[in-house]
Amino acid sequence: MKIAIIGAGNLGLSIAKGILHSNGATTMYLTKRNTDSIKDYEKYGNVVVTSDNLEAVKKSDVLIFAVQPGHFAAILEDVKDLLTEKHVVISTITGFSISKMESILGKDKFIIRSMPNTAISVGRSMTCICSNDAGRKRIDLAKAIFNRMGHSLEIPEEQMQAATVICASGIAFWMRLIRATTQGAIQLGFDAREAQELAMHTCNGAASLLIESGNHPEEEIDKVTTPMGCTIQGLNEMEHQGLSSSLIRGIVASFEKISEFKTKN
Ligand SMILES: NC(=O)C1=CN([C@@H]2O[C@H](COP(=O)(O)OP(=O)(O)OC[C@H]3O[C@@H](n4cnc5c(N)ncnc54)[C@H](OP(=O)(O)O)[C@@H]3O)[C@@H](O)[C@H]2O)C=CC1
Ligand SMILES: O=C(O)[C@@H]1CCC=N1
């Protein structure tokens, strides 16, 4: 597979790492205007670093766009005449609709809109995807690409903004919960490194338990909460302090913000 990542910034480089990690490309173009910071990627042999988007598009089949929303339309205008039947356009751009992409590229192009997260760099992204009508022919290819680097789910385009909050911003939300747990562990006497080790592996275990068992979280909680024990004491205190409520409110605030953004675009 010949892949180009147009916009090798935070997310673009995370995707590049995920692709390298999973041997997911025969050649990979990485583009940005100032390439100094990513020249090292050329040591991987099959990676070409360039500021020339046109060359990257001509030499690749799968085009993953990861630029800021304000740059995207102009870049699509620049490359649109180079697009042929071999190309699949995959956007990761927040708030940029499929109809807007079609208005620049045409309805006949294979267009996939995706929302991965930065855990793609370690092959563990939750990635939501949808496509235009023509792109339906390539949705399995897009799923295969993202499933090599985590888990993917096809959703209606209307849910893409909500998926951005839960999955992309969600990485930051979970990081903060892990950090808070780490701070608690330090207060209980662990050194900082051990505290983080305990917090992140316990978090990983909790998610893996649900993924592998298919159980509801409360079913697993019931197995841990000894009557009159320390777990229920801690959980109830967290809820008195608004744990679930503050998470839900944060998610809704994030969604309200992204909805403003959609109106502006
Ligand atoms: N960060 C995240 O976790 C997630 C981000 N997204 C979306 O992904 C997109 C990128 O986000 P993020 O990676 O954080 O942003 P960054 O600003 O880190 O990356 C964007 C990159 O695009 C490059 N760029 C700008 N203009 C061009 C151009 N003309 N041609 C090629 N490259 C160009 C910039 O480099 P230079 O200035 O050198 O050209 C920069 O490295 C956004 O639309 C965001 O909404 C989606 C999911 C998660
Ligand atoms: O915070 C943001 O607005 C972008 C969208 C998802 C991740 N970063």
Q: What domains lie within the chain, and their CATH numbers?
A: 2-155 (3.40.50.720), 164-264 (1.10.3730.10)
Reported ipTM: 0.97
pLDDT above 80 (res 264): no
pLDDT above 90 (res 126): yes
Residue 263: its pLDDT value, please? 53
Ligand 2 neighbour 50 (Cβ under 6 A)? no
State residue 186 phi and psi, 5-degree precision: -65, -40
- Which parts are annotated binding residues? 6-11, 53, 66-69
Protein residue with its CA nearest to atom 4 in ligand 1: 11
In percent, the amount of the chain with pLDDT more than 90 equals: 96
- Do the strands 125-131 and 110-115 form a parallel or antiparallel pair, or are they unpaired? antiparallel
Question: pLDDT grade, residue 108 (50/70/90)?
Answer: very high
Cβ neighbors of 75 (< 8 A, separation 6 or more) are: 6, 7, 53, 65, 67
Q: Which atom of ligand 2 is nearest to the CA of 257?
A: 3
Average pLDDT estimate for 172-178? 98
Q: Which two tokens stand for residue 125?
A: 């992204």
Average pLDDT estimate for 147-165? 97
Residue 261: its pLDDT value, please? 73
Q: Which two tokens stand for residue 147?
A: 């499933």
Residue 14: its pLDDT value, please? 97
Ligand 2 neighbour 60 (Cβ under 6 A)? no
pLDDT above 70 (res 163): yes
37-90 tens-digit pLDDT:
999 999 998 999 999 999 999 999 999 999 999 999 999 999 999 999 999 999
For residue 237, the CA-to-ligand 2 centroid distance in Å is 32
Ligand nearest to the backbone CA of 117: 1
Distance, in Å, from the CA atom of 20 to the CA atom of 123, rounded to the nearest integer, reads: 10
Average pLDDT estimate for 199-217? 98
Question: pLDDT grade, residue 133 (50/70/90)?
Answer: very high
pLDDT above 60 (res 265): no
Contact indicator for 2, 60 with CB cutoff of 8 Å: yes
Q: Which atom of ligand 1 is nearest to the CA of 34?
A: 38
For the entire predicted model, the pTM comes to 0.95
Q: Identify the sign of the CA torsion 218, 220, 226, 231.
A: negative
Residue 8: its pLDDT value, please? 98
pLDDT above 80 (res 262): no
